[in-house]
Structures are given as structure tokens and as C-alpha cells.
Homo-oligomer: A and B are copies of this chain.
Amino acid sequence: MQAIMKTKPEKGFEIKEISEPQITHSNEVKIKIDVASICGTDHHMWVYDQWAQKRLPPAIPFVAGHETGATVVEIGSDVKNIQVGDKVSVECHEADGTCYQCRSDRMHVCRNTKIFGVDKNGIFAEYAVIPELNAWKNDDDLDPALASIQDPLGNAIHTVLPKDNLEDIAGKNVLVTGCGPIGLMSIPVLKMLGAGQVFATAGGNNMQRLNMAKEMGADLVLNAREDGDKIPKIIRDATNGDGIDILLEMSGNTHALSQGLEALTLGGRVSLLGFFSGPITLDINSLMISKAANVYGIAGRRMFQTWQVMRGLLKSKELQNKLKKLITHRVNMSDWEKGMIEIHEKRAIKVVMDPFK
């Protein structure tokens, strides 16, 4: 079969002909890739940035990719709740299942986790083999392109709902700082969960994102370049002086974080998803301690409560239609490089790929 692979410790990917993967453990399933999509992580791997140089060498050469809508074509003898023909997506974190974290409902931060398409073969190929646990059964009628982008959508939902019983969105005012793909996806999710007002900020050099934030349903979109330090006051004025109840930090920008915390109501809640370029300096006294803020670091998606919430939310045609707008480009896997360049040039939001012709 053909596969898009990281073959060398340097910039780039290559298409290679390799043999089909086979089930070797009784709890595995073999899937046929119907659609794949390109994640920001794939872009880091392609660029071969600092993170990639540190993380990838042990696995090279390997098949890239982890976002997919696929069909089960074979199952191992101990597979219990998946059948041949099932439509599935892939949770890309393979957890060990028995460490301290896995045994306490924190499998998404398993300390021995391996990521498909990063630490071992991924899904930019015709077939892949994964454990049953990593195969998430989709509703049969879910568009495979939407099925494929559940990985970043799951990040968005996890940022919105970081824990069980912390779905404090109903009627609350929320600020999303940063309008990359995940930030944008969080906006219609917030609106679906009954958020009061949703504010969004973006850098301002990318009008596509500012416009898309509006289209996703944000009540007020602020241009960080133009509105700058006035943002907390603008938000406070729009919320009866209360400020926002919830901050979703998706930008990895220190100013955005500070402004967001400044706009936060006393006792409010913060999710941190965006990575910063390095250590940051923050007035933690006034912005976290006196503010009685509750701050959650967000990694991956909860396995699998986030997916369960996602299944329910994706029953909404309105949400589906909004998410489709975020799929700005669609190419064949053989043209993967075109898609990658659209992402690199920040012209694309999500790029979806059809299987090799």
C-alpha cells in the first residue's frame, strides 16, 4: 500500500510503498482509511522544528498522520464492541492502561503514552492497525470528513469541558483567546452548550480567522492588534461589570493570557490549551490568587468522555454545517504537499485528504 511517511530526520515527508499492516494482538482492529486530515502536529513534523527534532528520531521511518474517518475491515479474536463494517475514528493516544494515571480516569495523560503517527505508524496510508480501545465508533451517517476532524474538535470540547461535572457553560460569558482551528471550533460548541455571550480575540494579521470567528457564532470578535489593552474593559462593559466567567486560552500568547485573566470575574475558570514559545512572566498574585481563579491545563482529549460528548453534539446539523466551513481545503493524499503548504502559509484552516487514487 502507499503511505505518507517521515523517512529522514529532516524537513519533509515522502510517499512510499509499504506492506499492509496486520493484526498481531487479539484486541486489535484493522481499518481502511476513508479520509484523513492534517493536524498542526503533522505540520511541525514536516517542518522538522525543535520539538520534532527531539521527539521523532526513535520512530523514523514511520507513517505520519492520526486524524481520520475510517472503516473497520478486520477484528482480532478478543475484540468485543467493534464489528467489521463499523465506521470509526482514531484516538491517537495509545495508553498503557495500567499506570497510575490510567487507573484514575486520566488515561489521556498516561505516562507511557504513544501517539500514532508520531511515536509509531499513523494513518496517512491505505490501512492501519490499532487497539479496539483506540477505535471510536462513529454514527454510521457521519460524514467521514467531519469524522476525521474529531481530533481537534475533541481538543476544543476538552478545553470547554475540562472535567466531569465541570460543564459550567450554561448561561455563562466566555472569552476565547486565539482563533486557530481549535479556538474556532470551540465557538460553536460554546453556543451549543448555552453560553451567554461568547467573545473571541485573534491576532489581527489574519482577517480570515477574525471573520470565521464571527461566522462560527461569536457575539463579539476583537482584533488583538487594534483593541489591545482595551480588551478587558470592552468585555467588562459588555457584561454588566462582571467580566467573563470562563477563559479559554488557545493562542499561546502572553498578552492574550494576561488580558483574559484581567477580564475574568472573581472566582472564574480558565482552560489553558495554547502552547507558549517558552517560560512566561505573569502577575500571578492579582491574576490568579486574589482572583480565586480555577485554572486547568488541557492535554489531548479525555478518553473517552470527550468523545462521548462529541458524539452527542455532532447529532446537530447546525454544528456540522459550521464545522464544514472550517474545512477550507480538500486534496488527494497524493497531493498532500499542496495541503501542507496551504497550512504553512496560514491560508487553510483544516485540510482534508481523500485516499490515494
Mark A residues whose CB is within 8 Å of B. 25-26, 78, 80-82, 96-101, 103-106, 108-109, 111-112, 132-133, 157, 161-173, 189, 192-197, 240, 242, 265-267, 272-273, 275-276, 278-285, 288-299, 303-305, 307-313, 315-316
Contacts and interface: CB of A to CB of B under 8 A. Distances in A.
A281 B284 contact: no
Contact of A170 (B99, B109, B167, B282): B167
Contact of A289 (B290, B291, B298, B305): B298
Contact of A98 (B80, B197, B276): B80
A80 B108 contact: no
Given A106-B266, A109-B292, A196-B311, 5 more contacts: A194-B194, A196-B312, A279-B282, A294-B294, A295-B295
A172 B279 contact: no
A294 B296 contact: yes
A194 to B, nearest CB: 4
A78 B28 CA distance: 13
A173 B312 CA distance: 8
Interface of A is mostly: loop
A82 B98 contact: yes
A25 B78 contact: yes
Contacts of A98: 80-82, 132-133
B193 A194 contact: yes
Nearest to A167: B167
Nearest to A197: B315
25 contacts: A80-B112, A81-B99, A98-B133, A100-B242, A106-B266, A108-B292, A109-B266, A164-B168, A165-B167, A165-B168, A167-B167, A167-B169, A170-B192, A170-B193, A170-B313, A172-B312, A192-B194, A194-B313, A272-B288, A276-B284, A279-B281, A290-B299, A291-B297, A292-B299, A294-B295
Given A272-B284, A295-B288, A96 B108 contact: no
B194 A312 contact: yes
A194 B112 CA distance: 29
B297 A289 contact: yes
A340 B252 CA distance: 46
Given A275-B289, A294-B296, A304 B109 contact: no
A275 B282 contact: no
